[in-house]
Amino acid sequence: MSDFLQLVFQGLGIGAIYALVSLGFVLLIRAASVVNFGQGEFSMLGAYLLVVFFNILGINYFFGIGLSVIIMAGFGLIFAYATYWPLRFRGGLPVIISTIGASIFLQNMVLWIYGPSTVPIDGLFDSDGFQIGEVFISSQYLAIIVIAAALVLLQYVIFEKTLLGKKLQATSQDKEMASLLGIPVVIMIMITFAYSAALGGLAGILVAPILFVSVGMAGIITLKAFAANIIGGYGSIPGAILGGLALGIAETLGANYISVPYKDAFAFLMLLAFLMVRPQGLFGEKISEKA
């Protein structure tokens, strides 16, 4: 039983990572109708920035995190300008392909600069964790769960309770009409990308002590975050969270009780099952096209 609880906690921690990355996805989908395949590279870049500030330059860890997140926000603007802005009137697919191009570009630039080796980095706390009964609570995982929960709440409040959130949604649904109402469309899109990149960077920084920093660190996480997003319900914030957590727990248990090599397959099998049986996901709504 204690083994099981331990696995569930670990699964929750991993799930929280998926949820965190997934949040950035959802934001771009809801506020800019963009499916961003470069989301994982935001995480990778964020982690490398912290490596530069903390490991190399020796800046204070938490100050380094702050700097990295701010730089990532700025980077989000550049990303938007290069991959999204020129293609904004051309529908979903060209933007998807261009974010894929950006992802290839960023991975290989970092590879060129840092090489293929993985870099270890310190966690948020000096202590590794503590024991509750027979379950060991890792402090980094706990922090991820708490921060993910806080960010979810923040994002939910912004989208559902504030005028800013409504303006972001309006921009996503009809840019021209939004501009006719006086909504500064460019600023809305900039906010979206900056926040999404900052969020991605923070996710990367939080998982870096667990996975170590490498060029490929975020590739599979991004795909799974995407899967979490579908399982939870495409574009739904609570869905992204539950989908992420469910995925994390399922694959941790699956790896332990069924097969380690196929650990990564559980996420995608779950996704296949959902797409076949309940394609709208846990929280998605079936929207039928008005004829």
Out of 59, 124, 137, 166, which residue is the one contacting another protein (CB under 8 A)? Answer: 166
Q: Are 14 and 251 in contact (CB under 8 A)?
A: yes
Contact call for residue 82 and another protein (CB under 8 A) = yes
Q: Which is nearer to another protein, 138 or 229 (CB)?
A: 229
Contact call for residue 120 and another protein (CB under 8 A) = no
Out of 56, 180, 257, 258, which residue is the one contacting another protein (CB under 8 A)? Answer: 180
Q: Least Å distance between CB 286 and another protein?
A: 9
The C-alpha atoms of residue 250 and residue 202 are separated, in whole angstroms, by: 24
Helices 139-161 & 163-173 angle (0-180, nearest 10): 80
Out of 21, 27, 121, 183, which residue is the one contacting another protein (CB under 8 A)? Answer: 183
Closest CA to 114 of 45, 202, 39: 45
Q: Which is nearer to another protein, 61 or 268 (CB)?
A: 268
Contact call for residue 112 and another protein (CB under 8 A) = yes
Find the helix or strand (DSSP H, E) in which 137 lies.
strand 135-138
Find all residues with CB under 8 Å of 85, minimum gap 6, and list them. Answer: 189
Task: State the binding string over 186-225 for another protein (x if CB under 8 A, else -).
Answer: -------------------------------------x--
Contact call for residue 228 and another protein (CB under 8 A) = no
Closest CA to 245 of 264, 227, 223: 227
Q: Which is nearer to another protein, 144 or 170 (CB)?
A: 170
The C-alpha atoms of residue 229 and residue 257 are separated, in whole angstroms, by: 25
Contact call for residue 241 and another protein (CB under 8 A) = no
Amino acid at the residue 18: Y
Structure tokens at 143: 């922090």
Q: Are 2 and 135 in contact (CB under 8 A)?
A: yes
Binding site for another protein (CB under 8 A): 35, 82-83, 86-87, 90-94, 97-98, 100-109, 111-112, 163, 166-167, 169-170, 173-174, 176-185, 223, 226-227, 230, 261-262, 264-265, 268-269, 271-272, 275-276, 279, 287, 289-291
